[in-house]
Amino acid sequence: MIFKLLKIVVFSGVLLGQIDYESQIQPIFNNHCLECHVSINGSGALELDSYEYLMQGDSNNGPVVIPFNADSSLLYRVLLPDSVIVPNEPICCRMPKNSEPLHFSDQQKIYNWINEGANEFVLGIKSHSNVDKSKILVYPNPFNNTVTIKYELNDGGKVYLAIYDMLGREVKILVDTYETMGIKTIKWNADNQYGQKVPSGLYLYCMVTKEERKIKKLVLLN
């Protein structure tokens, strides 16, 4: 039986104990779903590589998340084991496809997050990251030979930026040093740490500071 997360309200109105999408929900999708749920050609299929795409839903089912109602949200229902699914309900298959169900703790996080309102950020808690979430630009994406990652630091700090393949293997470290505040630009030439060109496909860039980890997809074309 699944229990809803109890929200603790303090005098300021800030909600504590909430599920944070960026650090707790998106990593679940990164680890289990991005092999299929990314769109290269705008097919209309459900994309799970960002909050914006998730909340758009897909062309067949429309929205898959109903804020404050996990039990009616298709995103959550397709994650449940067959044994707890109501017979004859209109769901074509269980997810992740051709894989074991998500661990119960991950199912619980998604359930709680939806019932809290499916917010992108924890309400009432301001990010203190030295990377402004709205000031990271990756272009072009998809790309052929070179992709540019441009970001702005609000203050100085240690920055780690690396490329990974979809199996979680480190391909190349782009930045691993202390950087001062300001706008930074780095290019990846679709090569590994030995300077060898990597095959086309899906990759992830991972940026880590002392306050935040951001993971997004890159699509390398032939």
3-state secondary structure of 135: strand
Q: Output the pLDDT for position 16.
A: 42
Domains of the chain in sequence order: 8-115 (no CATH), 131-220 (2.60.40.1930)
Q: Which residue has the higher pLDDT, 101 or 192?
A: 192
Q: Is 218 helix (H, G, I), strand (E, B) or coil?
A: strand
Is residue 74's pLDDT more than 70?
yes
Interval 33-52 mean pLDDT: 73
Q: Which amino acid is at 214?
A: K
Q: What is the DSSP letter of 58?
A: B
Q: Helix, strand, or coil here: 122?
A: coil
Q: Would the pTM count as exceeding 0.75?
A: no
CA gap 75, 32 in Å, rounded: 13
As a whole number of angstroms, the distance between CA 26 and CA 150 comes to 21
User: Cα Rg for the chain, rounded, in angstroms?
Assistant: 19
pLDDT score for 12 = 29
Amino acid 44: pLDDT? 55
Nearest in space to 95 (alpha carbons), one of 46, 53, 50: 46
What percentage of the chain has pLDDT greater than the value 70?
Answer: 77
Write out the DSSP string of 25-55: IHHHHHHHTTTTS--SS-------SSHHHHH
| pLDDT at residue 18 in the model | 76
Mean pLDDT across the stretch 131-142? 68
- pLDDT tens, 141-163? 888 899 999 888 888 889 999 99
Residues, the chain: 222
What DSSP state is assigned to residue 152? Answer: E
Q: What is the average pLDDT score of the chain?
A: 77
Instruction: Report the 3 state secondary structure along 183-203.
Output: EEEEEECCECCCCCECCCEEE
Between 8 and 163, residue with greater pLDDT: 163
